[in-house]
Every structure is written in C-alpha cells, then in structure tokens.
C-alpha cells in the first residue's frame, strides 16, 4: 500500500481502469462467474442488436431486471475514494467497463464509459434521453415520439463508442501511473490499455481477486482483497 500511496503522491497523471470487480463490491453481479448474469443464458438472445429487434419482450425484461438490480445498490467506499482523489488532483481519469454509473454517482467527473451506461435510456428514432427508471413504468419503453426506448449500453453487435475510446486512449498515453481495479484483463480492449500504458513507461498496479495475464508486467499486484479496503488503506497512507 505504501508503494501505491507514494506513486499517487508523485504521479503527474494517474489513470484508473475499473472492471466488473468494482461493481460486484456494490452487490451487482458480474457476467461470467458461476453466479453471473450469463449463467444458463445466451447473451445473443437477450443483449444483442438482434434481440432488440427480433426478441424485444425478452430484451426488455432482461434490462428491466438489470435496472431493478441497479436501483437496489449504490457506490461503495472505493468509488468514493476515487472521486475524492480526483478532487484532490491524485486521479486524472477513470476508464470503466462498467455500465452502472456509480463512478459519476460518487462524484467522479472524468469518466470514459467504454460500454455505455445503464443510467441512460434513449429513443431509437429521435435520440431523446430519459432516466433509466422510466423503463420500469407502464409504457416505459415508448418515447414521446412513439419510438422504442433502448438502454444506453453497448449491445452485442455494436461498436464501442468512439468518443469514449478516444478519450481512454488519450488518457492512457498520458499516464505515468495506471491502476487496474477489478478486471480480469482477459479480453480486448480491457487488456490493451494497461499494457499500452506500461509500454510507454507508466507504473502499473493491478488490484483483482484473481490473477490476471498482465500480473508479470505489473509493478504491484494486490489479490484477494476488497477494492474498497485497499483504497481505504491507501487513503490513510496518504494522510487523509
């Protein structure tokens, strides 16, 4: 923890990358574990562009379930520490695979959402955005214009939002400290960002319950600890 605290103090540009492990500490399920959202389900039948057009009832039910789960949870201490460190100038950008919006809810402003956000709903026809709670209301999938409302997440069959990717790349290339929180780093582009930062000379810290393919590249690896607890101890080391 002392190493990480020292690097935070001395870094000129720190980037944090968060994955599903950041959200599971708030009580949200991940996707691929034994208790994950995809257990016994076919993602292409529920969370794809094809499902949205051809299997709309199941598509809506799946995202209603996800929104209900989101409303039952909230940001944890780890989210709050990151927001505080952004305010104090220790953290300069957060790149996240998560769609829960908890970083913003905790107060973080510089967030690149690679997979979109479940906190937003938008019309397929006119693009009008609504709060995600509208999806749980009667006729909550119909826009004022009559168009279909869809969640603001990236579906299977869609590209990642280019503006968010470009922002994430720009931050990664500026980083002299890159911190991974709760990502297995087994899929692209999740594994590209920390690797690229390391190749450009950044210190790399990985905090994850299980080993990752990039552990051998990292300057510090912390496993089998809760992210909130780790950040709490680092905050104490920073004297806050």
pLDDT, position 190:
87
126 marked ligand binding residue = yes
Which structural domains are found in the chain, ordered by start?
1-28+75-115+158-239 (3.40.50.1220), 29-72+124-153 (no CATH)
What digits encode the pLDDT tens for the residues 34-83?
555 546 567 668 899 999 999 999 999 999 999 999 999 999 999 999 99
pLDDT, position 239:
75
- Residue tagged active-site, from 3, 6, 115, 196: 115
What digits encode the pLDDT tens for the residues 164-196?
999 999 999 999 999 999 999 998 888 999 999
143 marked ligand binding residue = yes
Give the pTM: 0.93
Distance (Å, whole) CA 99 – CA 114: 8
In angstroms, the Cα distances linking 93 to 53, 86, 160 are 35, 8, 18
Is 6 catalytic? The answer is: no
Among 80, 71, 85, which Cα is nearest to 105's? 80
| DSSP label of 64 | H
Give per-residue burial for 13-50: e unless 16+ CB within 10 Å, then b.
bbbbbbbbbbbbbbebebeeeeeebeeeeeeeebbbee
145 marked ligand binding residue = yes
Residue 130 host element (H or E): strand 129-131
């Amino acid at each position: 923890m002392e190493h990480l605290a020292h690097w935070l103090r001395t870094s000129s540009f720190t980037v944090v990358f968060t994955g599903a492990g950041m959200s599971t500490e708030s009580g949200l399920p991940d996707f691929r574990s034994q208790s994950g959202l995809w257990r016994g389900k076919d993602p292409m039948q529920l969370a794809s562009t094809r499902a949205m057009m051809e299997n709309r009832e199941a598509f809506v039910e799946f995202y209603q379930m996800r929104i209900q789960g989101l409303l039952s949870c909230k940001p944890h201490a780890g989210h709050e520490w990151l927001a505080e460190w952004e305010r104090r100038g220790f953290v300069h950008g957060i790149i996240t695979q998560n769609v829960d919006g908890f970083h913003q809810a905790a107060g973080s402003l510089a967030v690149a959402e690679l997979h979109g956000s479940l906190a937003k709903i938008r019309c397929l026809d006119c693009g009008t955005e609504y709060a995600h709670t509208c999806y749980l209301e009667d006729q909550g999938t119909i826009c004022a214009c009559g168009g279909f409302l869809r969640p603001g997440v990236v579906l299977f069959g869609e590209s990642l939002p280019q503006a968010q990717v470009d922002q994430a790349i720009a931050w990664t290339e500026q980083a002299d400290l890159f911190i991974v929180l709760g990502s297995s780093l087994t899929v692209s582009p999740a594994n590209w960002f920390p690797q690229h930062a390391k190749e450009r000379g950044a210190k790399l810290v990985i905090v994850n319950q299980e080993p990752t393919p990039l552990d051998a590249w990292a300057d510090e690896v912390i496993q089998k600890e809760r992210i909130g607890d780790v950040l709490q101890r680092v905050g104490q080391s920073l004297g806050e």
